[in-house]
Amino acid sequence: MKVSIKFDNDIGFISDDGKDDVKIKNSIVGKDIYHSPTELLLMAMGACTSDDVLVILNKMKMDIKSYRCEIEGEKRDEHPRFLKYAKIHYIFEGDVDPESAAKAIKLSMTKYCSVSLTVKNAGINVSYYFTINGKDYEVN
């Protein structure tokens, strides 16, 4: 696979590989409306594991009404400004069994989600929890 970006005076960076535009903040143009590279990394982690989890729960015939995922992180102060941690929060509405959700998340975060496991393999702490219809659960 190959992706590409180009410098743009108004935006910062914008993808130019023929797929849907992704606009990225850079420090020369400095527009905060666009996600930074590290924010994109967090989003890639969230999308990667969410894909696994939704596919697994669909196979289990769970009736998911809506799904969101929040991914939080913080960069250390010294260079290179690695993430100190990443925290993934899976948020379901619908008829979802908590044990099945925990199983799906654990499977993704230990066996399938290559992006999150890459970050974890780099020594960064990646934690996760989930919420179903407003109730929070830990994954053990």
User: Per CB under 8 A, does 134 bind a second copy?
Assistant: no
User: Tokens in use for 109?
Assistant: 């975060």
Residue 108, Cβ density class (10 Å: 0-12 exposed, 13-18 middle, ≥19 buried) = buried
Amino acid identity, position 71: I
CA distance 33 to 46: 20
User: Per CB under 8 A, does 139 bind a second copy?
Assistant: no
**Smaller CB separation from a second copy, 87 or 98:** 87
As a residue count, the chain comes to 140
User: Per CB under 8 A, does 61 bind a second copy?
Assistant: no
User: Per CB under 8 A, does 131 bind a second copy?
Assistant: no
> In DSSP terms, which residues pair with 27 in a beta bridge?
none
CA distance 131 to 19: 33
CA distance 103 to 139: 8
**Smaller CB separation from a second copy, 100 or 114:** 114
User: Per CB under 8 A, does 84 bind a second copy?
Assistant: no
Restricted to residues 4-43, the positions that interact with a second copy (CB under 8 A) are: 4-7, 13, 15-17, 19-20, 22-24, 26-28, 32-43
Amino acid identity, position 70: E
Minimum separation from the CB atom of position 138 to a second copy (A): 19
- Chain residues in the site for a second copy (CB under 8 A): 1-7, 13, 15-17, 19-20, 22-24, 26-28, 32-48, 50-51, 54-55, 58, 64, 66-75, 79-83, 111-115, 117-124
